[in-house]
Amino acid sequence: MRFGLFGGARTDPGEQASDSRIYSDYIDYICEAEELGFHSVFLVEHHFTGFGQVSATLNFLTYLAAKTTKMRLGTAVLVLPWHNPALLAEQAATLDLLSNGRFDFGVGKGYRWGEFHGFCIPMEEAEERYQETLAFLRKAWTSGGRFSHHGKYWHYEDVVIEPAPVQKPHPPFWIGAASPNSIRYAAEQGYNLLLGQGGGPDTVAEGVSIYRRAVEAQGRAFDTSMVGLTRALHIAMNENEREAALALRAKFMAQVEELSLSPTGARRDHPPH
């Protein structure tokens, strides 16, 4: 078992500290974690929230690549439907190059209505956009030269993706999944699995079991390093600090719930991140 960090710097308009101070403090925190032997850091991607979650995730990780030497640098998750696939392939490969092959590419479909609304992308298109972008990324990093792509949402003619990633054939994909079908899909495609913050030990055990059976059904060996799990951790010195931490967590989750709702009150299942 290996331990890492998850989340991201979070600015707050109500805070006295400047955004730059909040980001610099978070960077110092990550660098200290590397010195203490933590294995990795995975950052979220969110937009238009009003409470300052990390948005330019690959930019942030590229800066961290220059500040660290050993930690794995991951996304958990980067939402594929919002991105131009060719630009994303170039940016991710550049990060892998500059980090000397330390990039872990966690991807997902997205789930917050407000973010899709802000990008003017119907949530009904999320699955198709996700699958097309994922297929393009794999093709871009394994073609070995120029290629063309003509899909439903994106078209490219006679392109080559530069630079090439350090990791071959490409940086490891980590798929954010919660439902049994999504977990089996990740295993069948040879992807690593990112489970989420929700559910207790039984839920986690069931998810790992589904993934393990699907991996072994393909004749591949299962290893626990193929699964990532996120859990919130608050260290409190006394009961007052514990209550304050729980209240802060409840406030944050309420904000996430609000951002997940459409004007009609409909929502998608929360993702693992």
Tens digit of each residue's pLDDT (9 = 90 or more) over 199-226: 889 999 999 999 999 999 999 999 999 9
CB atoms within 10 A of CB 24: 13
- Within a domain: 74: yes
pLDDT on residue 271: 47
pLDDT digits (tens, 9 = 90+) for 145-190: 999 999 999 999 999 999 999 999 999 999 999 999 999 999 999 9
Phi/psi region, residue 100 (left: phi>0; alpha: psi -120 to 50; beta: rest), is left
Asked if 169 and 141 touch (Cβ cutoff 8 Å), the reply is yes
What average pLDDT score do residues 226-240 get? 83
The 3-class secondary structure across the chain, one letter per residue, is CCCCEEECCCCCCCCCCCHHHHHHHHHHHHHHHHHCCCCEEEECCCCCCCCCCCCCHHHHHHHHHHHCCCCEEEECCEEHHHCCHHHHHHHHHHHHHHCCCCEEEEEECCCCHHHHHHCCCCHHHHHHHHHHHHHHHHHHHHCCCCEEEECCCCEEEEECCCCCCCCCCCCCEEEECCCHHHHHHHHHCCCEEECCCCCCHHHHHHHHHHHHHHHHHCCCCCCHHHEECCCCCCCCCCHHHHHHHHHHHHHHHHHHHHHHCCCCCCCCCCCCC
Q: Is 267 a residue whose pLDDT tops 80?
A: no
Q: What pLDDT shows up at residue 254?
A: 72
Q: Which domain holds residue 253?
A: 5-176+232-260
- Establish if 189 belongs to a structural domain: no
pLDDT at position 177 is 94
What mean pLDDT do residues 264-269 have?
56
Whether the Cβ atoms of residue 250 and residue 242 lie closer than 8 Å to each other: no
Q: Average pLDDT for residues 26-35, to the nearest whole number? A: 96
pTM of the model: 0.89
100-125 burial by CB neighbour count: b if 16+ within 10 A, else e?
eebbbbbbbbbbbbbbbeeeebebee
Whether 172 maps to a domain, the answer reads: yes
**CATH no. for residue 254?**
3.20.20.30
Please give the tally of structural domains in the chain: 1
Give the confidence band of 11 by pLDDT, cuts at 50, 70, 90: confident
Would residue 18 be called left, alpha or beta, if left means φ above 0 and alpha means ψ between -120 and 50 degrees?
Answer: beta
Bridge partner list, 75: 43
- Residue 181 located in a structural domain: no
Note the pLDDT tens digit of each residue in 77-107. 999 999 999 999 999 999 999 999 999 999 9
Residue 103 forms part of a structural domain: yes
Domain annotation covers residue 98: yes
Asked if the structure places residue 56 within a domain, the reply is yes
Dist CA 112 CA 44 (whole Å): 13
212 assigned to some structural domain: no
Identity at 267, one-letter amino acid code: R
State phi, psi for 196 to the nearest 5 degrees.
Answer: -115, -165
